[in-house]
Chain A
Amino acid sequence: MSKVRLLVGTRKGAFILMSDGTRKSWEVNGPLFAGWELYHIKGSPADPMRLYASQTSSWFGQIIQRSDDGGKTWHQPGTAPGEPTTTPDGMPKGESNKFVYDTSAGTGRPLTTHQWYDGSQRPWEFKRVWHLEPSLEDPDTVYAGVEDAALFRSTDGGKSWAEMASLREVKGPLWQPGAGGMCLHTILLDRSKPGRMFIAISAAGAFGSDDGGKTWRAINRGLKSQYELPDPDADVGHCVHRIAMHHSRPNVLYMQKHWDVMRSDDGGDSWYEVSGNLPTDFGFPIDVHAHEPETIYVVPIKSDSEHFPPDGKLRVYRSRTGGNDWEALTDGLPQRDCYVNVLRDSMAVDSLDPCGIYFGTTGGQVYGSADGGDHWMPIVRDLPPILSVEVQTLS
């Protein structure tokens, strides 16, 4: 029977939740890396036993962890347990944690400044890895979206990282941090066209590349941010919270923006609003059903100044029409006195049939539905605030 593995990152460590294909009962393992912020954990599509984790701390910086056995054991790439901590010629290892912007003459770009909250310019400064996206084909290739916003890639299993610096050329000095920081938080890889990828940055917008990240273009036409930007239709500067794509229709992109749920039918060249009858179109995550590319999910949040569900009711909204027509999914979710948030990387879908959908809250609950959202149950209730949820469907 199939198994499902949930990879949960929290403010105080990581948790791995396991179930069989019925998804009725769950085993909770953790905390791993207790006391650290685990921004994201994700498995390789090419080798589900290969997991990457971003372990970070405002005190002690960025650590990359890797597991080659599905999360049973972990090591920093290049410094496996029992291995010497220096190379044969005595040079220190630890390169796996090193994220340095590429300013070299050959592949890099000058490190300029970006906008700061007060409108002044501020130099780029690495803070943490928000999102890890393993390659679809190669377990040793993985992308990292970081704050201050940039994209890094490792081709040696996370041992070393190189910035894909040309991204910063797309009007980088006009990018600015959102309230959570100027982070690159979404990386989508197109299964049908190697080298085609989309990323999103708060608050810069969405960007696309067709050549594996050598060159980039802003893909923000149609976004309107009248309360966030002096020019509501600007090329860059939009606070994109999340974008999602179904692998079978890579030209259709869905976006949860700061305000507005948006859709593109042309690979991001233009966007139109599909918020429809949502009670509020502010929110963070957005995801697509595993088998129905027009079925999408969001979690409406009251506003940018009140990060909790409207009326204290935690409701996932589902559209079976690719937007505009939305239905509230409430069965099994708290419908009173609930004031949690659901962050941008905290929703995931498995590939079983019926499709399972999962999300984590800042209150430490992980909710799951084994029937596409019709019914929900709490898988675990009292974890630390949840930063990310990923799922692996294991045969």
Chain B
Amino acid sequence: MIRVVLPAHLRNLARVEGEVALAVEGPVTQRTVLDALEARYPMLCGTVREHGTQKRRAFVRFFACEQDWSHESPDTLLPEAVATGAEPFLIVGAMAGG
């Protein structure tokens, strides 16, 4: 199972606590993980990726294994540690404020 960490606002929307676990068939990429997330929690459609274009929202970041994956192609394979569930895939609200 893929482990996904959501920011607090999205956990509230999805009515979950802690990490969510998702089954992803085939290659584990941003796109397949987010497809699985939105299929399981449809209220999150449009909150991480834009409706229609499926582009990452500007103030959302994707971290995994201490790397920023936000600017990678959505079809790039995520690290093996994410695919095996050893490490989580983090969806993060970009820093704001002073």
Contact A79 B43 (CB under 8 A): yes
Q: A93-B42, A93-B43 are in contact. List 10 more A-B contacts (CB 8 A).
A: A59-B60, A60-B57, A60-B60, A61-B50, A63-B13, A79-B43, A85-B41, A85-B42, A90-B39, A94-B44
Contact A86 B94 (CB under 8 A): no
Which residues of chain A from 61 to 86 have a CB within 8 Å of any chain B CB?
Answer: 61-63, 76, 79, 81, 85-86
The contact string, 1 if C-beta is below 8 Å from chain A, for chain B 87-98, is 000000110100
Q: How far is the CA of A100 from the CA of B39 in the complex (A)?
A: 19
A79-B43, A98-B45 known; A60-B9 Cβ under 8 A: yes
Which residues of chain B from 1 to 60 have a CB within 8 Å of any chain A CB?
Answer: 7-10, 13, 15, 38-48, 50-52, 57-60
Q: How far is the CA of A59 from the CA of B94 in the complex (A)?
A: 8
Chain B residues near A126 (CB, 8 Å)? 51
Q: How far is the CA of A129 from the CA of B52 in the complex (A)?
A: 17
Chain B residues near A256 (CB, 8 Å)? none
Contact A85 B57 (CB under 8 A): no
Contact B39 A99 (CB under 8 A): no
Contact A62 B46 (CB under 8 A): yes
Chain A residues near B10 (CB, 8 Å)? 60
A-B pairs with beta carbons under 8 Å apart, 29 shown = A35-B9, A58-B59, A60-B9, A60-B57, A60-B93, A61-B47, A61-B57, A62-B46, A63-B47, A79-B42, A79-B43, A81-B15, A85-B41, A85-B42, A85-B43, A86-B39, A86-B42, A90-B39, A92-B39, A93-B43, A94-B38, A97-B43, A97-B46, A97-B47, A97-B51, A99-B51, A100-B51, A100-B52, A126-B51
- Out of A57, A76, A79, A98, name the residue touching B51 (CB < 8 Å): A98
Chain A residues near B51 (CB, 8 Å)? 97-100, 126
Chain B residues near A63 (CB, 8 Å)? 13, 43, 47
A36 interface contact, C-beta 8 A: yes
The contact string, 1 if C-beta is below 8 Å from chain B, for chain A 244-266, is 00000000000000000000000
Contact B43 A94 (CB under 8 A): yes
A100 to chain B, nearest CB (A): 5
Indicate the member of B8, B47, B50, B59 with the most A CB atoms within 10 Å.
B47
The residue on A at minimum CB distance from B92 is A59
Q: How far is the CA of A62 from the CA of B48 in the complex (A)?
A: 11
A59-B93, A61-B57 known; A97-B48 Cβ under 8 A: no
- The binding surface of chain A is classed by DSSP as loop
Chain B residues near A93 (CB, 8 Å)? 42-43
B37 to chain A, nearest CB (A): 10
Chain A residues near B93 (CB, 8 Å)? 59-60
Chain A residues near B15 (CB, 8 Å)? 81
Q: How far is the CA of A336 from the CA of B82 in the complex (A)?
A: 59
Chain A residues near B41 (CB, 8 Å)? 85
Chain A residues near B38 (CB, 8 Å)? 92, 94
A60-B60, A94-B38 known; A76-B47 Cβ under 8 A: no
A280 to chain B, nearest CB (A): 32
Q: How far is the CA of A85 from the CA of B52 in the complex (A)?
A: 20
Q: How far is the CA of A57 from the CA of B50 in the complex (A)?
A: 13
A260 to chain B, nearest CB (A): 36
A104 to chain B, nearest CB (A): 13
A34 to chain B, nearest CB (A): 9
- Out of B39, B42, B48, B96, name the residue touching A60 (CB < 8 Å): B48
Chain B residues near A57 (CB, 8 Å)? 9
A36-B9, A59-B93 known; A98-B43 Cβ under 8 A: no
Contact A61 B46 (CB under 8 A): yes
B5 to chain A, nearest CB (A): 15
The residue on B at minimum CB distance from A62 is B46
Q: How far is the CA of A140 from the CA of B60 in the complex (A)?
A: 33
A372 to chain B, nearest CB (A): 41
Q: How far is the CA of A94 from the CA of B49 in the complex (A)?
A: 13
Q: How far is the CA of A24 from the CA of B96 in the complex (A)?
A: 40
A388 to chain B, nearest CB (A): 20
Q: How far is the CA of A94 from the CA of B13 in the complex (A)?
A: 11
The residue on B at minimum CB distance from A34 is B12
Q: How far is the CA of A98 from the CA of B45 in the complex (A)?
A: 8
Chain A residues near B7 (CB, 8 Å)? 59-60
Chain B residues near A97 (CB, 8 Å)? 43, 45-47, 51
The residue on B at minimum CB distance from A60 is B47
Contact A92 B46 (CB under 8 A): no
